[in-house]
Structure 1
């Protein structure tokens, strides 16, 4: 039986493990933690809408369900020329057939330790919960949420979860009857954060900001973060008792230090079939890869899953297990987002041919909660996977 080694236990890595098994490969998945963290629904952990455990899925259970091998270890280095990897506990491993789904690092900002991120380490969602609870107990305060950019790769910006948590926190404070006691400000270095989602979505966000008296600091680069403030490039100051900030993605250090082909941000260069340039039998998918395409392209979970399935299919073709044509990821480049607000949601879709936004008051929130259940059940194979979901 043909075998494959998959690096990373996130959305992309897990999907790859499942689909490589379906293609008949023997699979080993290496992850530095024993659970899959479901980032799209982690926005509700800080507000106690769901407990932390509800946003996780055991890799042990997934491995048993789909019959792949799970190894918990930390990746230390990668060498494409020698087709080898080095693990903290497992030492040197040779891998003729490999899928890199390790995700991305984060852009470094001075004073980043003074912030918390809903897209960072899973534990930060719990720290955000503690900070929010303390601020509510205090009875008033200044709240600043934002996200950053990467000048070397615009696809690595991830602002949606920041908007979602911001709107959910507003809704939560409103339900408690104390919203007027808090200054809420959103900041980003772009003049129009969210513009990649299209004009209608941007207009809806701007309307929410205006109607709910949110402050904004847009179009100014971030100079540094301090204990209770954000300093911008013009030395203006935004005071904050709680700063939630999502840095843009950046290439991981171990990728930047490797001999793998990279773009200027340190993401792995691949062709349209997710094959790493110049390293036969090696693939890169999800946030670890360098996406080509239109300026609005974005790294999202659904695209990572498509890349994972394509890599499994293309590997089967390459190894003669099937005679179908190879599959490409470019044709699937789009933005799909159900942006939750706590009391509803907005559905965003964009590709090269169309852009639309649908407001879903009340029901949208319940649809996203239902998606979290569906995601876990379908990953475990308890219910069928719906096309496009």
Structure 2
């Protein structure tokens, strides 16, 4: 039986000081990471698969180990606890600072449990992190030991799968599933495990919207599905929702609005992989003062306008009370691009024996990669 215990606030503040007040930030000792992970797991045991959150809240998409850009998000959107944050997953892999990024988010979640909320993405997985950088980064930063990787990936099994905001907006990392018509089906999932190859849990973290189709279609990623307008209209209608918010896809302008705001993609890793040159965003939701029953499909694939002006004239394609705060990569992101070197002296030119070293993902890789793990 797991025995619950808490970490003193002073200890959490000390961890934040190590990560935030030093340049470069200090790596937390293994025994500290172990205690942080164990404490957060005991707290997450009582959290449902779909969290019930309220506005105002800021929604953050993929971060992928871009630690300095995460700090930029807090500069732009406000630091916890002054701002409520919902993070949509994909905290690690690809970037140079996955260890620092996930350490900071875990500490912030423990320090401000009612202000910071984390859900699971497709990269919160043992299989993916072994191949896309997090595992190798930990080996390098912790002198060849994989203990920290084991503790953090065990914690990933406890992360919720989604959230509702004001009961009207559904947020998940990826998208919808042909096996799921009701939110209650997600609530009934046993989430405390590695992400499976298929099924509702896999589709939630792997699927993508597609404006060219109406129904479901197999995804070219090799996992999850593409879903169209009919799918999201029915899902929202059946669950009394007005919108889905998700991450998972690189957006050159930092965000994408589908079907006049019925589905939004928020992307929060600027200059992704230190070479894509894209912008990033956070989605600020101030309120949701509109009637979900009036958000119906019309012949031009848009929303009918209820008295509460559900259709937004905002050029961002969002609903009333929502705003994409767009930002560029931090100066430190540019420095990483030039030097090809991460924090604490880990250089991407070093080859670590017996592993797929994470630096290779930033050296002459194509911009678009197909996932091959579920073929």
Q: Same fold (TM over 0.5)?
A: no
Structure number with larger C-alpha Rg: 1
Range class of TM-score, shorter chain: under 0.3
